[in-house]
Chains A and B, each alone.
Chain A
């Protein structure tokens, strides 16, 4: 017998063969049993939800600015780059949000992350007010390596894509039919406390994360 068969056989012997086991797993997969509580923290609505999202982003040591619409993004980004003393050159994917804008004096290149990336920009598919988390879908539009190789990572998200929390995120995710290779949930810049048990920002991923909330 193969390792697979031996292992599954041992589990079957321990679990028994009571009738209805398949039905029990099918029911669970359909969400018909075992419902977990839904924290109030993940159920905010409207303007309060956006305020909560902003507060949680900041609590996670990231920063956030609100821009009225997508067209205002290049100017807002230019301001950020100047204020942070960063070069006016960004790396993005082929997301239509970025392709459709006039970037003015900012040089924009497309593609996956390289070993040195001072500034990367991604669009998050969703966000969660519950924890100030950005939810990104990998692919050519937003390559996964941009999320981890950028020294400063800018993430744009539309106000209508900000969910209350996990409980409305997954239904919205399924409804949109998304199936990327990776889902990346990002809550603030990378960090480590491995040296001297002192928390420091900027471990292997970005040193700084800034969120543009579009239409908020």
Chain B
């Protein structure tokens, strides 16, 4: 099976397996605390942070409701700078455009900066099937490419991989080096990867990057990184391809600044990422470096279908990862359990939009509705509300298993009839307190095995909630 084939339908089984996987559990324990604390400190250090989030939300809402106009202006500016703009309706269209550019450049190798869009369209497998070798250069992406995996976090793709696993992987892959070399120091491992990848930057004719933003005012694409690999991938080869989804538009340099002020703080807790690079077009006649060709591929892949629906707000997402860093479900199961490209709360909302509710409909159930994702989202995306919409659609389309549907229907039968509900709870409470009187708790209960398997259920005391409220005279 292709690594790109979604396993979203098996979310429950994936999650159970992840919770039993010692490596994933080890990695997840250290993840959450780091990102969460750093974001909190960054927020506390900037009194205007929440007001900037409001401004970022309002700016993006304005963009989305004028997206047709801004895209046309952006395109004109890119062309004015000497670049090319390609429009891709589907993942397949985008893959073919990339392949076509690579063939014209007569390259057998492509260097890649980190891009989630490339994961979304399954670019690596497609290029390989067509005789072109893609080299991931972001360290985390490099590690998972060698392992034949997809990212498990949108900004820390190899977060699930332990140090001993990387040690083993490097020894198996970097066979030109002494097999008995000492890799016990993390710095040595980093230096080894740096040296191996440094050579690759000079081999490829084509570099592919994503884009954090596309600026209408200047026709620039923006990448935000810490490693510098994206910049090397786009500066050294003859051709630079920018893979961007079409909602990445921001109108002006000032609007880009608003996003940058909330992006890194929300992602890693940095005030600024190390590299924020604004690129416009191919090298100029006087330039001693930079690509000779500059292409932007604008990917739709279902996004225009979200405009004007309950899910439009999701198009404000700037891919910082804060929602998954703060999500109790993500922290328990890791990113791979979600079964496709985008994990965590943002993935639970976006995935059904992009690959359909039949495939992705399980993911919006991966939520406790604790609301932390919405609380920390720099773009104030109402993620829990949208997950609730997906659950409703999944139910309407009869996609839930029969037991769940019957259970919900049975519940609704009582919940919609208050008198019947109160009668039933009175009988249940009376029965349970009678049978549980002796021990004060139950170690097993019919229909509640999921609870009593792990902990006892206390026997009710003093009547139902409604009876107690009434007795207090409220």
Contacts and interface: CB of A to CB of B under 8 A. Distances in A.
Interface of A: 2-4, 6-8, 10-12, 14-15, 21-22, 24-25, 28-29, 31, 33-41, 56, 60, 93, 111-113, 115, 130-133, 138-140, 143-145, 147-149, 166-167, 169-170, 173, 179, 181-198, 200, 202-206
Contact of B231 (A15, A131, A148, A188): A148
The winner among B88, B227, B251 for most chain A CB atoms within 10 A is B227
Contact of B137 (A15, A41, A204): A204
B290 A204 contact: no
Interface in B18-52: 27, 30-31, 34, 46-48, 51-52
B254 A11 contact: no
A139 B67 contact: no
A142 B401 CA distance: 62
Contacts of B199: 115
Contacts of A132: 272
Given A148-B232, A189-B274, A197-B30, A4 B68 contact: no
A202 B163 CA distance: 18
Given A3-B87, A203-B190, A203-B227, A195 B260 contact: no
20 contacts: A2-B87, A7-B298, A8-B68, A21-B66, A25-B73, A31-B254, A112-B289, A115-B199, A115-B201, A181-B280, A181-B282, A181-B283, A182-B235, A182-B290, A184-B276, A185-B272, A185-B278, A187-B272, A192-B140, A197-B159
Nearest to B170: A195
A138 B66 contact: no
B433 interface: no
A17 B186 CA distance: 57
Q: State the 7 A-B residue pairs at the shortest beta-carbon distance, nearest first.
A: A205-B228, A36-B55, A14-B307, A203-B227, A166-B257, A14-B308, A194-B140
The winner among A21, A113, A147, A192 for most chain B CB atoms within 10 A is A192
A144 B234 CA distance: 11
B231 A205 contact: yes
Contacts of B88: 3
A74 B162 CA distance: 45
A56 B189 CA distance: 29
Contacts of A193: 156
Contacts of A194: 138-140, 143, 156-158
Interface of B: 27, 30-31, 34, 46-48, 51-52, 55-56, 58-59, 62, 65-73, 87-89, 93, 137-140, 143, 156-159, 162-163, 166, 186-187, 189-191, 194, 197-199, 201-202, 216-217, 220, 226-229, 231-232, 235-236, 246, 251-255, 257-258, 260-261, 270-284, 286-290, 298, 300, 304-305, 307-308
A28 B273 CA distance: 27
A4 B87 CA distance: 5
A202 B190 contact: yes
Nearest to B275: A186
The winner among A34, A133, A195, A205 for most chain B CB atoms within 10 A is A195
Contact of B275 (A2, A40, A181, A205): A205
A25 B252 CA distance: 11
Contacts of A166: 254, 257, 260-261
B52 A36 contact: yes
